[in-house]
Amino acid sequence: MRSNSSRLKAGFTLVELLVVIAIIGILVALLLPAIQAAREAARRTTCLNQVRQMGIAMQNHVDTYKVFPTGGNVPNPQIEDYTTGGLNNPGKPNGPNKQGLGAFYQILPYLEQNAVQGITNQAALQSTLIPLYNCPSRRAPGTGPARVQLTDYATAQPATLYCGSSPYDPLAAWPFNGPNPAFAIRSYWCGDGGPGSWAVAGPPLPPGASPPQTAINYGGVIVRTPYRRITGASANAPAVGEIIPGYPNAIKPAQVSDGLSNTLVISEKLVRSDLYEGQQPAPPDDAAGRVSDDKGWADGWDPDSVRFTGVPPLSDDDQSVCRSSNPAFRRTCIGFGGSIPALFFGSAHSGGVNAVYADASGHFITFDVDHLVFNALGTRDGAEIVDMSQL
């Protein structure tokens, strides 16, 4: 009788299995940073392409109006007050010299967003998503606590005057731990027009009233809209307003004597990494989320959509900015009327920020850029010599 001999199949021992798992873990540990770096490089490239598209949209705006868009005239404007008609028959949006909403609203038609610019209710407008206005490295598009679509970009306002009419001294404003850490914010305010100018959104002013500004100076390409609302729109009539004496009109390309290819118009704005949802920080930190990242892309002349170049761009992960634990940095976030933090440019990228110049060319500017060079990039006619290799 023939017996069949059984064959035993060889298998993994427990030790061999553990070795294989360990090898896989090592490979994952080695490859994961490279994969993450590749993904971030792709996101950074997407972000750069987005600011380029905004720059091209501004050029198309120039082709239409012969001027660059303006930056709006007040914080939290209402589109109902900046159209050619009344509440029941809104008409068309005002042009750049009478538009209270900022540049990101004014360039919508050149981003294939005509329908959005046709919205004449502020609540509906500011809750409308414009994906281009969000950097994929920072946060997904979404609404903040005020139910507005947040934005990751801002137009550039250079620092050229200190409060009053004294020339801006960048050496006194930077670094923050220098002898006068509050100098930067005061320079921002005077670039905005001087003490009290932020409050132009207050009670309606009578026709012919003197502007409250003490040192009107708008030295960038995107200037403050030279117009103010006096009375709001009624059911059948548009709002009443007036051109403000002393304000520059929307800027023509010929007025950018520093050169379109040397002048910054839009870059990524600083948003502290713990405040990406537009929320307020925990006390006793200053209310960065409430006042500088709460009104979104449909805002006017406000830190939501206008930042200044008097301080180099900062990283979102910089844990010193506007922190009560660092008195020097905290003082940079104190305004004349309370806490006005995050006036600076910044990003979630490693090493710097994406930016677009007035000629629609895209650039990456490092966090360690010389602060004099960065401020010079913001001026349209400062006649500074900018060494682009320092960017």
**Could you tell me if residue 156 is inside a domain?**
yes
Stretch among 50-59, 78-87, 169-178, 187-196 having the lowest mean pLDDT: 187-196
Burial 233-263 (b: 16+ CB within 10 A, else e): beeeebbebbebeebeebbeeebbebebebb
Q: How confident is the model at residue 337 (pLDDT cuts 50, 70, 90)?
A: very low
First to last CA, the chain: 90
CA dihedral of 322, 325, 328, 329, whole degrees rounded to 10: -20
User: What local confidence, expressed as pLDDT, does residue 272 receive?
Assistant: 81
DSSP, res 269: B
**Could you tell me if residue 331 is inside a domain?**
yes
**Could you tell me if residue 384 is inside a domain?**
no
* Closest alpha carbon to 372 in 308, 311, 321: 311
Q: How confident is the model at residue 113 (pLDDT cuts 50, 70, 90)?
A: very high
pLDDT mean over 294-298: 89
pLDDT mean over 39-55: 94
Q: Is 308 helix (H, G, I), strand (E, B) or coil?
A: strand
Share of the chain above pLDDT 70, in %: 71
Q: How confident is the model at residue 107 (pLDDT cuts 50, 70, 90)?
A: very high
* Closest alpha carbon to 270 in 333, 195, 328, 363: 333
Contacts (Cβ under 8 Å, ≥6 apart) of 35: none
**Could you tell me if residue 32 is inside a domain?**
no
Asked if residue 66 lies in contact with residue 252, where contact means CB atoms within 8 angstroms, the answer is yes
**Could you tell me if residue 253 is inside a domain?**
yes
pLDDT mean over 332-336: 46
For residue 152, CA distances in Å to 51, 203, 346, 389 come to 10, 30, 9, 26
For residue 251, CA distances in Å to 67, 69, 220 come to 5, 8, 9
274-286 tens-digit pLDDT: 777 766 555 555 4
Sheet of 362-366: strand order equals 306-308, 153-157, 264-268, 352-357, 362-366
Residues 55, 32: Cα–Cα separation, whole Å? 35
- pTM for the predicted model, two decimal places: 0.82
Q: Which of 175-179, 303-307, 318-322, 329-333 has the highest mean pLDDT?
A: 303-307
**Could you tell me if residue 264 is inside a domain?**
yes
Q: How confident is the model at residue 320 (pLDDT cuts 50, 70, 90)?
A: low
For residue 287, CA distances in Å to 199, 242, 282, 330, 334 come to 18, 33, 8, 11, 10
Stretch among 113-117, 151-155, 194-198 having the lowest mean pLDDT: 194-198
Residues 292, 305: Cα–Cα separation, whole Å? 8
Share of the chain above pLDDT 90, in %: 42
Question: Residue 193 CA to chain centroid, in angstroms?
Answer: 19
Instruction: Please tell me the total count of domains within the chain.
Output: 1
pLDDT mean over 291-312: 86
Give the residue with greater pLDDT, 291 vs 383: 383
Residues 315, 350: Cα–Cα separation, whole Å? 8
Contacts (Cβ under 8 Å, ≥6 apart) of 192: 157, 198, 224, 301
* Structure-token pair, residue 308: 């200044």
Phi first, then psi, for residue 53 (nearest 5°) are -60, -40
155-198 tens-digit pLDDT: 998 877 655 555 666 666 565 555 555 555 555 555 444 433 33
**Could you tell me if residue 388 is inside a domain?**
no
Residue 137's domain spans which residues? 40-378
**Could you tell me if residue 132 is inside a domain?**
yes
Residues 345, 329: Cα–Cα separation, whole Å? 15
Positive or negative, the Cα torsion across 74, 79, 84, 87? negative
Residues paired with residue 149 on neighbouring β-strands, in sequence order: 143
